[in-house]
Each structure stands twice: as structure tokens, then as C-alpha cells.
Amino acid sequence: MPVVVVESPAKAKTINKYLGPGYTVLASYGHVRDLPPKDGSVLPDDDFSMKWEVAADSKKHIKAIADALKTDDELILATDPDREGEAISWHLQEALASSIKKGKKVSRVAFNAITKPAILAAMEKPRDVDTALVEAYLARRALDYLVGFNLSPVLWRKLPGARSAGRVQSVVLRLVVEREMEIEAFNPREYWSVTATLLTPRGQQIEARLTVLGGKKLDKFDLATVAAAELAVSAIDKRDFSVKSVEAKPATRNPFPPFMTSTLQQEASRKFGMGSKATMAAAQRLYEAGHITYMRTDGIDMAPEAITAARAAIKDIYGANYVPDSPRIYKNKAKNAQEAHECIRPTVLSATPEQLKITDSDQRRLYDLIWKRTIASQMASARLERTTVDFASADAQVELRATGQVVQFDGFLRVYDEGRDDDDGEDSARLPQVMQGEPVTRAKDARRPDYVKGAEFGTPPDRATNMVLGQDGASLALQHHTQPPPRYTEATLIKRMEELGIGRPSTYTSIVTTIQDREYVTKDKNRLIPSDKGRLVTAFLTNFFRRYVEYDFTADLEAELDDVSAGDRAWKDVLARFWRDFSASIGETSDLRISEVLDKLDDFLAPHLYPLRADGSDPRSCPTCGSGRLHLKTARSGGAFIGCGNYPECRYTRPISVSADDPAAALDGKVLGTDDFGVEVTLRTGRFGPYVQKGEATADVPKPPRASLPKGWAADQLTYERALELLSLPRQIGPHPEDGEMIEAALGRFGPYVKHGKVYANLADAEEVFTIGMNRAVEVLAQKAARGAARGAAAEPLRSLGEHPDGGEMQVMPGRYGPYIKWGKVNATLPKETTPEEITAEQAIELVNAKAVKKPARKTAAKPKAETAKKPAAKKAPAKKAAAAKPAAKKKAAPKKAAADDALTE
């Protein structure tokens, strides 16, 4: 009985159903081996030999496969049809070498969809593991490891507070940072547009925009001031108009190609607001359920049988007139497109979203999107008529234009239209009937409601600053300002990565997720904003490792790896060329002093760190002492801030993301009052927010009394009395009635609390610190003690999610930091956007499986034997173990886990 190995238990269950009882289908649960997260896993001086180890949680899966092979003579590797899938098959073959060396048959099969016909067809075409794809994988893993484990320590030493750097993630971070710098450097430009509402002889209104003034065609910025707009409105008011010309042109709109990975993520973001990670998770489940084809692809071509099925479905559902005369064939135009896979499409084109009845909301929405896009891609074009009407004054000095369009045949638009990241302003309104030479009149007061609704008044109060209304209310001028480029969303960032040839479908999501996990980028209203830490890392790499964050260099390296995949380039040659130059660049930074680094970064980030002040003063002068210059500095605890060069005489500091003109910075140093001894109490702004301070630092008192403002307290409303209350903490409430030990109330790192001995009990509100009495304090402390005693009691599950495919019940449990899924000894936290009521069994399986894979081995476990990577050979018996390598020279302590994590991702 052949043993078939796939990645996931859900996939194994579906395939086992299709293959029948003659096969044993087991899951590997993803990758089974990886490079140990420590120095020496890739050895450039030993011909880039790589040492692999089996993950602790993968041992039981390897054992299950090995046990099955004791009674079965054939191993079929049926992992995903991409580079990562090929790599998993190779790792399985290597890890199972002792079980398959006794004449057992090993083969590799690949299928693009988990359907019975696709799987049975794949079983008829077994092959060997693709050597070229595995070598491309080995090259990528080696590159990512070498960058992560060599560049990250440089960051730690030269840029305190930085976490890590990755080969591709650093380049993507640069995209986000540079877009933010574009936005900050942007200078808006004012311009005005003028429209008028006209009345046709048949009494219908038509809106037209001003296109010619003074006999000259207007450009966008010709009306640059309110004075110019007033003159334009006046010119319309003084003239009568007639129809100069009417032009109707036929037009067509062609359907969009079917989805590939990047376009699916973009459209799911536009239409549903789904992040790339959520999109790919839902697509993975649809693929494993057999509903769609493989979802990590950069191909948009469709199998001939799928095209035939789509055309048949279109005819059945929408009619023969929606089927074009010939099938539509799509080819990818993206840079470095591999054309390795088919597009993302439904496996059964006739299966409409309504027929499948998918229960999970994300999967249901995503399948509906994929089905509509696929069907629409093979439908007839939409036919439109676009009409342009020009109106002119008798003296030809003023002209107005109205545009509109009407859909004569909707074609593919009946099913689907792609969303847009930015409105293109296309006018889709139908125009009323007019004829050349007909007179038109101004529609009195037609624009007055718009004026009343949107006008903003200044000085004089009866004159709007952003609008000009014509005397008869028929014409209206609107003020506009050019807008900076928008911040990236995850979807538009992935689109830009694809355009530049950076990353690949299998890595887009992990790259975008990593820069957020590292806290280099934050997300606000679905837009990506670089943090101060992210800016500093980009500035450092741009100044000292510029070549390795250049877009073309990264794209060219990706192209070389694609050549390796195609068998056109030797993978170790790629590594050797990269390592020769990269190791030299690392060596050049060894003598750099932190002060040199800070000076470079200070200059590079100056427009962001020291923006121009409203009063025109020097943006780098210290607002406290007036004589010192502001500089970028690093804290002992990590991170960076702006401080005065006159330290320690002047102790002014502020976060690097706050300018001197910021209201928070304006409060820095504000004197709140003076005590009876003449000591000032001041409000300060520090790296961790506002705080109050009594007195100044001196040689005798280097750390004067300070207290941070509690969360929710407005710094601009703080009084001297409230500041004294903060500085007086901790507040003594009185001796405990049972043992006489003092009870205190104070503000701590985690908020307000009361303390009795070693017992700390949180308070709900900071105000309670100043008002809580003895009875309430004793009650709160008693409640805390009772909770501590009950902590050992088992918590009741919030919900049962049924059995895991590997056995054992999955339950949603309440936790201190939020609900989580418990499966045996594995605990997986629920995503923030998912409630215990919404989580499905399929989502739970994915979460606990991912957590199980990441779970570290116990410290007491024996160290896994390292294995040296060999160039994969087609269907050859495993080679004998190589002679033990010479012991490596002693190295420094292994880098922290952040570098390990970065070495595992692009």
C-alpha cells in the first residue's frame, strides 16, 4: 500500500477520500527540517554546506511516516506544486533516508487542484524531486540566513534598539519609509475648478465644467487663486451659451484577467478590507477543501478545459450573447513572472457561490470573488457610448464641456468590475438630449445648495474661502489642493513589490507581516506607517549597506534565483558572488563608531527630525536653553531620541517623532508652580510621554522627583495641585486592620494599584489612587487574594470546537491575555479580530497546527543530529554519511532570536 505524504491533515483527509483504501495518506505538517537558529548553520568556507535539523514537533510526524513505510514499499511525495512544496518533498526524502534506502520506490507527484480528476491524473505521472527547484530553495535559504545572521548583529552593535534586518524585508521597509518621506516633503499646490449648471430647451439640467477662458484652453493650474476663480465665474455670468458640438463615440471595456496571488490580495483588500494574511489563510482553506486551484502563483493563464467549462457556464447562466466568439488567452506582463502555475480559479466552474454554501464568511466572500473574476475573464466585452458636449459663448471667449457615458451592453460588467485604489473621476452619467446650435440658459440657483452645504467662511465672514458662487447661483468655483501620494496598504505594497520584481507569491504575505511584527511599521486604518525604529533601520542600511537595499539589486538577485529554478544557473555561483561582496561590506563597518553612525543618520533624517518651525527660527536650536543644538541620541535601554547638545547642563529631550512645533513639545518645560522653597514644578515631555518634575538635576541631586502622567490625563490641562499629588505618590492609606502593615496606593507600570506587603491589586481608575479609603482598599486586596487562591482551579471552556483530525478535543478557553484555543498541550491565541463565537473548526485547526510547528523543543531534549545539505540527485540512493567536518573555530555567543527569525524569512 503506497504511502502518500502531503503538508496538512485537512489536505490529507480530502486526498485519502479520493484515492480510496489502497493508499495511506499522512501529513508532514509543513516543513520538517530547517537550519538551526545559530551561527554555523551555513558555512561559506565549506562550499556553502548547510546543516539541517528536524524540528522537535516534526519528529513524531517523521516517525509516523517511517512506521508506515515498514510495511509499504512505495513513498509518494504529494506536496504543493511550488518551490516550497518541492523543498518539503526533498526534506522528507532526506529525513526518511534510513527508511527508504532498502529498495523502496520514491516518487513525486504535483497537482494544481485538490479534485479527484486532478489527483488521479497526477498519480499517473510520477516524477523525481525537481533538482533545480530544490537548489533555488537552498540558495534562498542560504542567502536569507547569511543576511540575517551577519547583518542583524551589526544593527545591534551600531544602532541600539534595532531588532534585525532581512534580505527582502529591509528593501520593502525602505519602500514604506520612502513613501512617508515623500508625503512629508510634499508641498500642496492650490488650484480651482469651475462648473456651471445649464438648462436645455427641453427643461433638463446638464452640468458642464469650464474648459476655455479668454479664448485659451485651461490647464489644471491656470486658475491658481480665488481672484482668478472669481474672474472665471464672472465671465460665465455675463455670457449666454449655445451647443457648439455633440460628439458620441463607441467604446469597449475588456474584462480583467483571472487572479494570481498579488491581484487576489489587492482586490480582497479593496472590496473587503482583508489583510494579505487573512486573504491567504482563507484561500488556503478553500484550496484544501478542493474549491479552488493552488493559491500561490504568479501565472494568469487558464487550463484549456477550464476555459471550455467557463464558456459553458456563461452560456448556461447568462446566455449565448455573453460568450465571446473566441476564448480569451491571458499572459503575464509582470517583471520576472515565472508562469509556473495556472491562475487562481474555481476547480468546478459551474459551482456557483450559492451552490457551495460555504459557512465561513471569509471563505465565502473570497470564493464569490474568485468565481466572479474567473467567469468574467471569459465573458464578452462591455460596449459603451461616450458623449462629449461643448457649449460656447457667442464671442468664443468661454467654453464649457459636459461628458457622460452610457452602457449599451454590459457584457462582463454584469458579473464583476474591479475595485480601484483611487477614484479616476470617470463620468458615467447619461447626458440629456441636446442638438448642435441649440441655445442653453444658466439654471438659476442650481448650485446654491452645494455652496450652502460646503462653503467655509473666513474674513470677511460673509465671503467663503473655498468656493465662489455666481450671481445667479448657476455657476460654482471650487478650491482644490494637490494631494501627496497615499500611504501603502498591504495590497498596494504587494502590488509595488510585484512591479519591482521583489519577492515572490509564496513570500509576499510573510514579508509584509514581518515588518509589522518587528515594529518597524504600524497599521492605521489599513495604511502602513513607518515607526521611528523603522526609519532608523532604513537610514542605517541606506547609508552603510546601500547596495543591498536597492530595488534593482534585489530584483536582479530574484531573477538569478529564477534562473536557478529553471536550471540555467548554478546555485553556489550565485551564493559565492553575493557572499564575496556582502562579507566585505560587513567587514567595513567593524571600525564604525556609534557617534559616526548617529551623525550620518542625523543628516539623513534631518527633514523629518527637524521640520521648519512656524516662527522661522532654527529648527535645531534647543527650545529649553536656547543655545544648545539638537542631536539624535541613543538610550542605554535601546531606541533613539532627540536631545540637547548642552547635556548635562540642559536635559531637554523629546521623541524623534515629535517636532518642536508639536503641541506636546510646546508644553515641555512649562512651569506649573513654585513651592514654598522656590523650587519649580514643571511639565516635561520625555521618550515615554509627559511627566512632571520637581526642581532641576544637579550634581548633588542627579535624579530629581518625577512622576509620569497616568493614561487619560491631558497634559495641557494639568494643574500645579494635580502635579503635587502625582509627586506625592505612593500615598499611604493606613495600617491594615489584620496585621498593621501599611497599605499604599500608587501608579505603576501597569496602571493604578493598592499594595499590602507583597500583594498588589489593580484599580480601575487612576483617580482612585488619590481617593480610595481603607474599607475599599481592604476589599480590593481581599478580592485579589481570593482570585489568587482560585487560580489553580481549572477554567471552564467558552466553547467546544470538536475533534482535531489527529485526535483530541479543541476548546476555546478564557485567558488572562484574551481567549485562546486549547488542544492537548498546545495553546493558540485567537487573532484580535476573531471572537470565540466566530472561530470555526477549520480556523482552529490551522491555528493550533501553526502553533505546534513553532513550539520550541524542551531544553532537556537531546540535540538533534545536524545533517549536511547535499545537492539533490534524481532517484539516487542516499549517499553514505560524509566524514565528520573539522571542528569550527570558537565563535561569539549565538545571535538573539530576532536574527534567527529573520534568517527564516525574506
Helix 276-288 / helix 261-272 crossing angle, nearest 10 deg? 120
The pLDDT, as a whole number, for residue 662 is 54
Q: Does the residue 505 lie in any domain?
A: yes
b/e map 792-817, b = 16+ CB within 10 Å: eeeeebbeebeebebeeebbbbeeee
Alpha helices in 464-593 (DSSP H): 490-500, 508-517, 532-544, 551-565, 571-588
Q: Does the residue 754 lie in any domain?
A: yes
The pLDDT, as a whole number, for residue 839 is 85
What is d(CA 364, CA 344) in angstroms, rounded to the nearest whole number?
15
The pLDDT, as a whole number, for residue 94 is 92
Q: How is 289-316 classified by DSSP, letter by letter?
A: TTSBB-SS-------HHHHHHHHHHHHH
Phi, psi of 3 (to 5 degrees): -100, 120
Phi, psi of 507 (to 5 degrees): -115, -10
Q: What is the pLDDT of residues 468-520, one digit of tens each?
A: 999 999 999 999 999 999 999 998 999 899 888 888 887 888 899 999 988 89
> Which of 47-56, 233-242, 534-543, 814-823 has the least mean pLDDT?
814-823
The two most distant CA atoms of the chain are separated, in Å, by 102
b/e map 675-698, b = 16+ CB within 10 Å: eeeeeebbbbbbbeebbbbbbeee
For residues 215 and 250, membership in a common domain is answered with yes
With a CB cutoff of 8 Å and minimum separation 6, the contacts of 385 are 248, 249, 250, 251, 405, 406, 408
Tell me the three cell numbers of residue 163.
531588532
For residues 250 and 389, membership in a common domain is answered with yes
Greater confidence (457 vs 274) lies with 274
With a CB cutoff of 8 Å and minimum separation 6, the contacts of 699 are none
What is d(CA 183, CA 529) in angstroms, rounded to the nearest whole number?
11
How does residue 867 score in pLDDT terms, banded at 50, 70 and 90?
very low
What is d(CA 503, CA 263) in angstroms, rounded to the nearest whole number?
15
> Which of 106-120, 167-181, 194-208, 691-705 has the least mean pLDDT?
691-705
The pLDDT, as a whole number, for residue 562 is 87
For residues 13 and 45, membership in a common domain is answered with yes
Residue 346 pairs in a beta bridge with 292
The pLDDT of residue 86 is above 60: yes
What is d(CA 642, CA 623) in angstroms, rounded to the nearest whole number?
12
Q: Which of 688, 517, 539, 546 is nearest to 159 (CA)?
A: 539
Q: What is the pLDDT of residues 333-373, one digit of tens each?
A: 544 444 447 899 999 999 988 898 898 999 999 999 999 99
Q: Is 378 left (phi over 0), alpha (psi -120 to 50) or beta?
A: alpha
Q: Which of 219, 188, 177 is nearest to 483 (CA)?
A: 188
For residues 376 and 389, membership in a common domain is answered with no
DSSP 360: S
Q: Which of 428, 376, 421, 485 is nearest to 271 (CA)?
A: 421
Residue 520 sits in a domain whose CATH number is 1.10.460.10
The residue segments making up the domain with residue 586 are 139-182+488-596
Into how many domains does the chain fold?
Answer: 6
b/e map 476-506, b = 16+ CB within 10 Å: bbbbeeeeeeebbbbbbbbbbbbebbbbbbb
Q: Does the residue 307 lie in any domain?
A: yes
Q: What is the chain's length?
A: 906
**Three-state SS at 46:** helix
The pLDDT of residue 893 is above 50: no
Q: Does the residue 673 lie in any domain?
A: no
Q: Does the residue 674 lie in any domain?
A: no
Provide Rg for the chain, Cα atoms: 34
Q: Would you state the torsion angle of the CA atoms of residues 895, 901, 902, 905, taken in this order, to the nearest 10 degrees?
A: 150
What is d(CA 267, CA 256) in angstroms, rounded to the nearest whole number?
12
CA atoms within 13 A on the CB side of 430: 7
The pLDDT, as a whole number, for residue 232 is 96
Q: Using CB atoms within 10 Å of the CB of residue 155, give its burial: 0 to 12 exposed, 13 to 18 middle, 19+ buried.
A: buried
For residues 334 and 275, membership in a common domain is answered with yes
Boundary of a domain, candidates 551, 577, 596: 596
For residues 335 and 429, membership in a common domain is answered with no
With a CB cutoff of 8 Å and minimum separation 6, the contacts of 871 are 131, 135
**Three-state SS at 568:** coil
Q: Using CB atoms within 10 Å of the CB of residue 833, give its burial: 0 to 12 exposed, 13 to 18 middle, 19+ buried.
A: exposed
Q: Using CB atoms within 10 Å of the CB of residue 722, give its burial: 0 to 12 exposed, 13 to 18 middle, 19+ buried.
A: middle
Q: Does the residue 877 lie in any domain?
A: no
Residue 50 sits in a domain whose CATH number is 3.40.50.140
If you average pLDDT over every residue of the chain, what do you get? 85
416 assigned to active site: no
Which is it for strands 74-77 and 105-108: parallel, antiparallel or unpaired?
Answer: parallel
Greater confidence (640 vs 30) lies with 30
Q: Which amino acid is at 551?
A: Y
Strands across the sheet containing 653-654 = 630-634, 640-644, 653-654
For residues 124 and 15, membership in a common domain is answered with yes
The pLDDT, as a whole number, for residue 285 is 92
**Three-state SS at 118:** helix
How does residue 831 score in pLDDT terms, banded at 50, 70 and 90?
confident
How does residue 789 score in pLDDT terms, banded at 50, 70 and 90?
low
The pLDDT, as a whole number, for residue 309 is 95
Q: Does the residue 870 lie in any domain?
A: no
For residues 509 and 587, membership in a common domain is answered with yes
What is d(CA 391, CA 205) in angstroms, rounded to the nearest whole number?
13
Q: What is the pLDDT of residues 58-76, one digit of tens each?
A: 999 999 999 999 888 899 9
What is d(CA 457, CA 467) in angstroms, rounded to the nearest whole number?
9
Task: Give the containing element (helix H, strand E) for 230.
Answer: helix 226-237
For residues 465 and 406, membership in a common domain is answered with yes
What is d(CA 656, CA 598) in angstroms, rounded to the nearest whole number?
13
For residues 371 and 408, membership in a common domain is answered with no
Q: Does the residue 666 lie in any domain?
A: no
The pLDDT of residue 851 is above 60: yes
Q: Using CB atoms within 10 Å of the CB of residue 202, give its burial: 0 to 12 exposed, 13 to 18 middle, 19+ buried.
A: exposed
For residues 440 and 397, membership in a common domain is answered with yes
Boundary of a domain, candidates 329, 356, 380: 380
Q: What is the pLDDT of residues 530-557, one digit of tens each?
A: 988 888 889 889 988 989 899 999 889 9
What is d(CA 496, CA 501) in angstroms, rounded to the nearest whole number?
9
Q: Which of 172, 272, 174, 269 is nearest to 512 (CA)?
A: 172
Q: What is the pLDDT of residues 177-227, one digit of tens each?
A: 999 989 988 999 999 999 999 999 999 999 999 999 999 999 999 999 999
The pLDDT, as a whole number, for residue 62 is 93
For residues 64 and 49, membership in a common domain is answered with yes
What is d(CA 464, CA 454) in angstroms, rounded to the nearest whole number?
9
Boundary of a domain, candidates 380, 399, 422: 380
Marked catalytic residue, from 137, 294, 367, 416: 294
With a CB cutoff of 8 Å and minimum separation 6, the contacts of 879 are 870
